Chains A and B, each alone.
Chain A
């Protein structure tokens, strides 16, 4: 054990750091998906496309700002701006134009509508940004690297991935928890999640809540994408990859759970990066294995409650 640690300690440290940064991104996307699912009861397949569009928009905006002569700090600001813009534009557009027409329809149809949206957005993204990799990491390089002490060794790691990503994720987690539990709008959202009919009967305008929640969820997906853009080159297909991962997080966490999403994102992030360093052939399988294992033990997800049997 000790000998193993001496040999692989550095790798393990890197895996943990990488996993943490990755978990932060996964959390941002998955919590948005979970929120939308909890309120609208629609599993939004197009959520991954919003992630991809957020990422591409952030990269393009960063490149444009850099070309305009602004410093690398502008690239960092661009990340948040891009996410907000994508959320504010595409969120209401999708909800108001399409989703609104299918509330109350069969679940399968709702799922398929978002699948159709996914297909459309995937091509739109290819038409706008092409199929060549897009990469812009001025902000990440500007922040530099930090030497992380780990078991007597030192691991150089980018400050962006060490501080910014987990920081934003934690802020989002705390902000969401506060918003949903302490503000009126937040409590209304929770009320609709728990019992839509009762909430509507109390005079809550469910349509407004749906619009708000969907826009917010879209912005979170775009934020996850935007924040991921400096860490890797963007290629077609990232949306499809991200959405299945977020599905796994939601299934592990259970419906409408914020803290649950954080914990399962952490499990998946760490599990994946440990696989990347120690068993690379299992990298893609890892999240699903974790999910299957969790659902074997707890069929309703880690934090989900069992539905009472209706007769």
Chain B
């Protein structure tokens, strides 16, 4: 299954393009799913170390608001994206230096606290952020070209797809490298890592900064796709959603978070269309069923199917 990962990823990417061609409304849903999948990939890295961040919406919203603030001056999406990514990474480094000292619930709660502080600032500093109204993002250009709406949506979908593949490839290489392997050591017995001369804090910090970068990129793409940012992007339920997606997809492989994100967004769209008042309950039920009956997530289910096929 692992060897087939790159091929599967390319096949899935091709399938997404076909789906977006066949049903134009899917293009929007899939772009958002890819963006959230990036953020969930970062969460997955931290899960490898056994740490749950209940506050990564901080980086998503930080990336999104960076785009919203800078869109009038920078204008081009391929300028906005790296700047938002750099800002989120810098924030991740500063916060990471602090939170990488903590483990388990304290790690989770500190991330939660900091994201809620940011949420409150977004909501209360009305003269800067326009509070709960949020900020509208003007249609950015792409490589200096002013595109009309549909072409721009196609372009940003392409950017999201390319970034997702890039991040997936990078995360895979990272997890194979000693730095990534050491993450599992934090989960099992941290003291042993220290005895081997591996500073656990640095290992966790590297994964944390990486996760902030991915979440920031995701946020930037969300801002350019929905073209409207609100403080709700930073609320703790948005962070919970990211952990949800990571678990739904399965923490086993780098495709898992994206699989989870696409499933999540599709279930959400259909649930909202069928039962508008209960979409959240439907998502919750799906999550409950997955955890109770397929703890490996969707990716784990697929991998099991694949293995059985091989054995037969």
Q: Which A residues fall within an 8 A CB radius of B?
A: 37, 43, 45, 98, 101-102, 105-109, 111-113, 115-120, 122-124, 126-127, 240, 244, 247-248, 250-251, 281-285, 288-289, 291-292, 295-296, 299-301, 309-311
Name B279-298 residues within 8 Å CB distance of A. 279-281, 283-285, 287-288, 291-292, 295
**Chain B residues within 8 Å of A102, by CB:** 291-292
Contacts A247-B112, A295-B102 supplied; 6 other A-B pairs, CB < 8 Å: A113-B288, A120-B281, A120-B284, A120-B285, A122-B280, A285-B121
Q: Mark B93-121, 1 if CB is under 8 A from A, else 0.
A: 00000100110111011101110110111
Q: Is the CB of A285 within 8 A of B240?
A: no
**Chain A residues within 8 Å of B125, by CB:** 281
For the complex, what is the distance from the CA of A98 to the CA of B288, rounded to whole Å? 9
B191 within 8 A of A: yes
On chain B, the number of residues with a Cβ less than 8 Å from chain A's Cβ atoms is: 47
Q: Is the CB of A116 within 8 A of B285?
A: yes
Name B100-150 residues within 8 Å CB distance of A. 101-102, 104-106, 108-110, 112-114, 116-117, 119-121, 123-125
**Chain B residues within 8 Å of A123, by CB:** 277-281, 284
Q: Is the CB of A251 within 8 A of B247?
A: no
B258 within 8 A of A: no
A244-B236, A251-B106, A310-B189 as given contacts; A284 in contact with B277, CB under 8 Å: no
**Chain B residues within 8 Å of A251, by CB:** 105-106, 109-110, 113
Q: Is the CB of A119 within 8 A of B280?
A: yes
**Chain B residues within 8 Å of A120, by CB:** 280-281, 284-285, 288
For the complex, what is the distance from the CA of A113 to the CA of B284, rounded to whole Å? 9
**Chain A residues within 8 Å of B121, by CB:** 285
Q: Is the CB of B192 within 8 A of A116?
A: no
For the complex, what is the distance from the CA of A240 to the CA of B46, rounded to whole Å? 24
Q: Is the CB of A248 within 8 A of B104?
A: no
For the complex, what is the distance from the CA of A309 to the CA of B119, rounded to whole Å? 36
- What are 15 of the A-B contact pairs (CB < 8 Å)? A98-B292, A105-B291, A107-B104, A108-B247, A112-B244, A119-B280, A240-B236, A244-B236, A248-B109, A251-B110, A281-B125, A282-B120, A292-B114, A309-B191, A310-B191
For the complex, what is the distance from the CA of A310 to the CA of B292, rounded to whole Å? 30
Q: Is the CB of B109 within 8 A of A291?
A: yes
B52 within 8 A of A: yes
**Chain B residues within 8 Å of A283, by CB:** 120
For the complex, what is the distance from the CA of A215 to the CA of B52, rounded to whole Å? 26
Q: Is the CB of B114 within 8 A of A127?
A: no
**Chain B residues within 8 Å of A106, by CB:** 295
B210 within 8 A of A: no
Q: Is the CB of A108 within 8 A of B114?
A: no
Q: Is the CB of B52 within 8 A of A111?
A: yes
For the complex, what is the distance from the CA of A115 to the CA of B287, rounded to whole Å? 9
B243 within 8 A of A: yes
Q: Is the CB of A43 within 8 A of B105?
A: yes
Q: Mark B56-76, 1 if CB is under 8 A from A, else 0.
A: 000000000000000000000
**Chain A residues within 8 Å of B35, by CB:** none
**Chain A residues within 8 Å of B240, by CB:** 45, 115, 118
For the complex, what is the distance from the CA of A43 to the CA of B284, rounded to whole Å? 17
Q: Is the CB of A288 within 8 A of B192?
A: no
**Chain B residues within 8 Å of A311, by CB:** 189, 191-192, 195
**Chain A residues within 8 Å of B109, by CB:** 247-248, 250-251, 291
Q: Mark B207-238, 1 if CB is under 8 A from A, else 0.
A: 00000000000000000000000000001110
